[in-house]
Structure 1
Amino acid sequence: MKSSGDLEKVLATHGVAVKWYEFPFGPPMVEAINTGDIDLGFVGSTPPVFAQAGRAPDIRYVAYSAAYGDNYGIVVPQTSTAKSVRDLKGKRIAVARGSAGQYLLLKALEKNGLKPEDVSFAYLQYSEARSALERGDVAAWVVPDPRLADVEASSGVRVLIRASELPENYGFYIAPRQFAISYPAALRATLKEIDQTEQYARHHLAQTAQFLARDTGVKLTVWRQVLARQPWGVAFPLTPQVIAAQQEVADTFSRYQLLPKAVKVVDAVIDIK
């Protein structure tokens, strides 16, 4: 969408100029939205929960993407003796702090009868985590595509569990409260354009993979794998099912005393319909 210039054309009719910013993962983007530098961003399930709990309480949910599936998982080296998450007891696991992966790890531990204190969380950014896994400094790594597909292809890791085996976990489009209230038409137009772009990509996988390979420098074979299991679609407003799933994210972090206070997700939802 950025390369096509289509969004700029659509929003020009609303008197809106477009600027693009890239972030490695959610928490720093949330901070940028909180300071007013960003008006709309896409993020996993965990950063908005921490924002609502105190870091950036004026952030609002305006739309959501399809739930994570096989494109997010916990991996171990091929030489690891671990056959399930239960076998990671007492081990160090790399995960990005405040990412959707942190929630997935908590749920994976619960599913396997473990508590957070049964393992050691190594809070590492993605590039650091991969190196740590390859050196043997951590026993496992919680990682999403395209990094997951890349490490599967190049390092031959094994996936112990994927997001598709855990409670539904969505990605979200978030905006500052005042912006969402003041400019719903611009947000609707943007989100519809994003969804149209996703649907085009969904029906032109080969073309999309080639474009992404050129744009990112990541191998074509990796992007083919990523797109084959990519959840598609952008929708708004948030449905009761999506809100309930996100409330479970908030409740999980609250239950393990990882939030400064409990939050009610629905209080941060704005219907721009």
Structure 2
Amino acid sequence: MMAFRFLKSLLAAVCLAVLCPAHADEGYPARIRIGIQKGDGLVALRASGKLEQAFAVHHVNVTWHEFVYGAPLVEAINAGDVDVGTVGSTPPIMAQAGAAPAVVYVAYAPKLVKSYAIVVPKDSPVQNLHDLKGRKIAFAKGSQGHLFVLKALQDAHMAPDSAQFAYLSYGDARSAFERGFVDAWAVPDPRYADTELSTGARTILTIGDLSVPQYGFYISTRDFAQKYPAALRLLFDELGRQTRENLAHPEDTARFLSGNTGVPLQVWDRAISRLEWGVGYPIPDEVLRAQQDSANLAFDTKVIPRRIDVRQAVLQIK
């Protein structure tokens, strides 16, 4: 009988350790689905494999989902297909205004300064924003570039309709830019660096030149953030450590990312020096004030149908 009981206990232990999947620790989900874009700081974290190691301690599975720009990522989070991701300022504003009301801000990225720019062909006669009057500017509708262009026009005391907007995905915008179908392009790194190197594109304005700072954000759903704040803290803390390591060794990071993303080494060499990677939480007042300015601009220029208070879509992780 004792031998039978021992065998039964042994079989149960084997089932728990090998055959039966471990349950996630209390306060953690069974899996965390993370949305990324090509140039954001999560790309290096994914390539390192360190986040999987950190979450494995809590029996959490990590999956990654890549998006071309922010608006589709917001839709995926709102639909419950992704749990957390990073975007520019425009997508969460559009989400709160009606497209995805379940989405909330949970952290922020450093102020954008050099990693997003309005570029023109190398032989273009355009020297500044005023020279784009009546000309075509390309950007993805609902992307960070959308409000970047609108704010740039406002700062230049130009009406929103003084230039023509070509709403194009990054691939289509690149083709239109190279063929001369558009006169300018609002583009982020590493695509910005790639365009400079391959076409000789000239920069006429960077996002850091705007009168009000622009920030990136980490977004989730209110339900996920309320249930699993520990999981979000772990993600952000690991991202912070990885970012500090990457920025301290830019040449090594460029080689590492080139090998893992397929983006040429010379592109990453140029882009890394100006990428504003990092994460902070809770979100401070000055960041929320800047985002409210963007939200007001979005309403005034009819990008969104109603005025919003961005603080109502903030869930602070502490």
Give the TM-score range, shorter chain: over 0.9
Q: Secondary structure at the match of 2:106?
A: strand
Could you say which residue in structure 1 is the equivalent of 2:160? 116
Q: Secondary structure at the match of 1:2?
A: helix
Q: Which amino acid aligns with 2:244?
A: Q
- Asked if the contact 2:47/2:257 (under 8 Å) is kept, the reply is no
Give the structure, 1 or 2, with the largest relative contact order (CA under 8 Å, sep 6 or more): 1
Whole-Å Cα distance in 2 between the matches of residues 12 and 214 of structure 1? 25
Q: Which amino acid aligns with 1:90?
A: G
Could you say which residue in structure 2 is the equivalent of 1:187? 232
Could you say which residue in structure 2 is the equivalent of 1:214? 259
Whole-Å Cα distance in 1 between the matches of residues 257 and 62 of structure 2? 21
Q: Which amino acid aligns with 1:56?
A: A
RMSD: 1.0
Q: Secondary structure at the match of 2:65?
A: coil
Q: Which amino acid aligns with 2:207?
A: A
Show structure 2 runs of 5+ residues with no match. Answer: 1-44
Whole-Å Cα distance in 2 between the matches of residues 119 and 131 of structure 1? 20
Whole-Å Cα distance in 1 between the matches of residues 213 and 105 of structure 2? 17
List structure 1 segments (4+ residues) > 3 angstroms apart after TM superposition. Answer: none
Show structure 1 runs of 5+ residues with no match. Answer: none
Could you say which residue in structure 2 is the equivalent of 1:203? 248
Of the three residues 73, 90, 93, the one matched with 1:46 is: 90
Q: Does 1:34 align with 2:78?
A: yes
Q: CA deviation at 1:271?
A: 1.2
Q: Secondary structure at the match of 1:66?
A: strand
- Asked if the contact 2:139/2:145 (under 8 Å) is kept, the reply is yes
Q: Which amino acid aligns with 1:262?
A: R
Q: Does 1:153 align with 2:189?
A: no
Q: CA deviation at 1:229?
A: 1.3
Q: Which amino acid aligns with 1:5?
A: G
How far does the alpha carbon of each residue in 1:241-265 deviate from its partner, in whole angstroms, 9 at most, with x for none?
0000111110000011221211110
Could you say which residue in structure 2 is the equivalent of 1:22? 66
Q: CA deviation at 1:219?
A: 1.9
Q: Which amino acid aligns with 1:250?
A: A
What are the residue-to-residue correspondences of 1:1-273 with 2, within 5 Å? 1-166=45-210, 167-273=212-318
Whole-Å Cα distance in 2 between the matches of residues 213 and 15 of structure 1? 30
Q: Which amino acid aligns with 1:134?
A: E
How far does the alpha carbon of each residue in 1:149-191 deviate from its partner, in whole angstroms, 9 at most, with x for none?
1111110111110011012111111001100011101110111
- Asked if the contact 2:93/2:310 (under 8 Å) is kept, the reply is yes
- Asked if the contact 1:14/1:186 (under 8 Å) is kept, the reply is no
Whole-Å Cα distance in 1 between the matches of residues 65 and 219 of structure 2? 14
Q: TM-score, normalised by structure 2?
A: 0.84
The number of residue pairs the alignment matches comes to 273
How far does the alpha carbon of each residue in 1:102-124 deviate from its partner, in whole angstroms, 9 at most, with x for none?
11100111122211111110000
Q: Secondary structure at the match of 1:19?
A: strand
Q: CA deviation at 1:15?
A: 3.6
Q: Which amino acid aligns with 1:138?
A: V
Q: Secondary structure at the match of 1:86?
A: helix
